Amino acid sequence: MTAAAREQAARIGETRGDRLRRMLSSRVASVVALLIAVLWTIPTFGLFINSLRPDQEIRTSGWWTFFTDPEISLYNYNYVLYSDSQGGGLFVNLINTVVITIIGVLVPVTFAALAAYALSWINFRGRNALYIGIFALQVVPLQMALIPLLSIFSRGLHIGDFTLMPAWDLDGVYTIVQVWIAHSIFGLPLAIFLLHNFMRELPGDVMEAARIDGATHSQIFRKVVLPLVTPALASIAIFQFLWVWNDFLVGRTFAPGEATRPLTAVLGDMAGTWGFGWTRLPAAAFIAIIVPLVVFLLLQRYFVRGLLAGSVKG
């Protein structure tokens, strides 16, 4: 049998998944992927190089001159992290972003998991209508909800003279609560939708077996469902994490004060509005990148698995 014939024979009975896998793992595909990866990484790489160069150099020449005339300075890092002057002291903003992100991820993912379980495995009236309603909420653009939400926080909810909820009157550091709530609200519909699809795929037999074994809904949720949807939970958490970490608009709107300002808001100021110290921007931007990079590298296993979930069986 010739090589071609053998290859032909190997392809008989091949599923679509097999073919896709074979095509993606060919040598040509690998080279193309590598090229794309390098191309895409160049700007980030340049940013990294620039962040390590002295101010004067950044101002007068491109980052690639670094290779002919290497000169390293950590001045910019030092300045943006610890300086008291304008455009410095990013360390505080970094902490703000971390605090915003931790709660802004944990709360929506937790609620989404609970909601997705209820929507997929508890029978109650109006379940489908509720699910479709939540799904439909995704079409509301975030920007449209900003002003209503802001007015709820600052004026409360009233029907005529009747007060449903008084104004919150949050100030200073406490405005961070508004950011948490806003991020949770904006993140929930998609998270519920994705997790619902994932949980729905779990075998019904297993749920029934757990019920017969004497488990209540909360026990089924904790001991059977959660361990089985961990990859999905992780990938949704990563998505939400990246979204909240990189968010500019919500943070700007709901936590405008100095005490709660996230990293992104400061970066924005550096680049645009006042135009001060753009030479320090590379260092500041790199500080903002590091955490997501580390999280992504640690959890990429889940990330890929979560993306593929449902499409490839077994």
CB of residue 192 to other proteins, shortest distance in Å: 23
Using the rule CB under 8 A, which residue among 36, 209, 308, 312 binds other proteins? Answer: 209
CB of residue 219 to other proteins, shortest distance in Å: 6
Under rule CB under 8 A, residue 208 binds other proteins: yes
Residue 33 and residue 38: Cα distance in Å, rounded?
Answer: 9
Q: What is the DSSP letter of 152?
A: H
Point out which residues pair with 162 in neighbouring strands.
Answer: 159
Question: Per-residue contact track with other proteins, 157 to 196, x per CB under 8 A?
Answer: ----------------------------------------
Give the CA count within 13 Å in the CB-facing half-sphere of 240. 32
- What's the count of helices (H) and strands (E) in the chain, helices before strands? 15, 2
Q: What is the DSSP letter of 53?
A: S
Under rule CB under 8 A, residue 272 binds other proteins: no
Point out which residues pair with 163 in neighbouring strands.
Answer: 158
Q: How many residues bind other proteins (CB under 8 A)?
A: 17
Point out which residues pair with 159 in neighbouring strands.
Answer: 162
Using the rule CB under 8 A, which residue among 13, 141, 160, 214 binds other proteins? Answer: 214
Name the CA dihedral angle for 279, 280, 284, 286, rounded to a multiple of 10 degrees.
Answer: 50
Nearer to other proteins, 10 or 209 (CB): 209
Residue 125 and residue 218: Cα distance in Å, rounded?
Answer: 19
Under rule CB under 8 A, residue 84 binds other proteins: no
Under rule CB under 8 A, residue 212 binds other proteins: yes
Under rule CB under 8 A, residue 200 binds other proteins: no
**Longest CA–CA separation in the chain, Å:** 88
H or E stretch covering 146: helix 142-155
Region of 51-59, 73-81, 199-207, 304-312 interacting with other proteins (CB under 8 A): 199-207
Nearer to other proteins, 114 or 228 (CB): 228
Positions 114 through 143 that interact with other proteins (CB under 8 A): none
Distance of CA 313 to the CA centre of its chain: 26
Region of 46-54, 188-196, 202-210, 246-254 interacting with other proteins (CB under 8 A): 202-210
Region of 134-142, 160-168, 215-223, 296-304 interacting with other proteins (CB under 8 A): 215-223
Phi, psi (deg, nearest 5) at residue 165: -150, 130
Positions touching other proteins (CB under 8 A) are: 203, 205-206, 208-216, 219, 223-224, 227-228
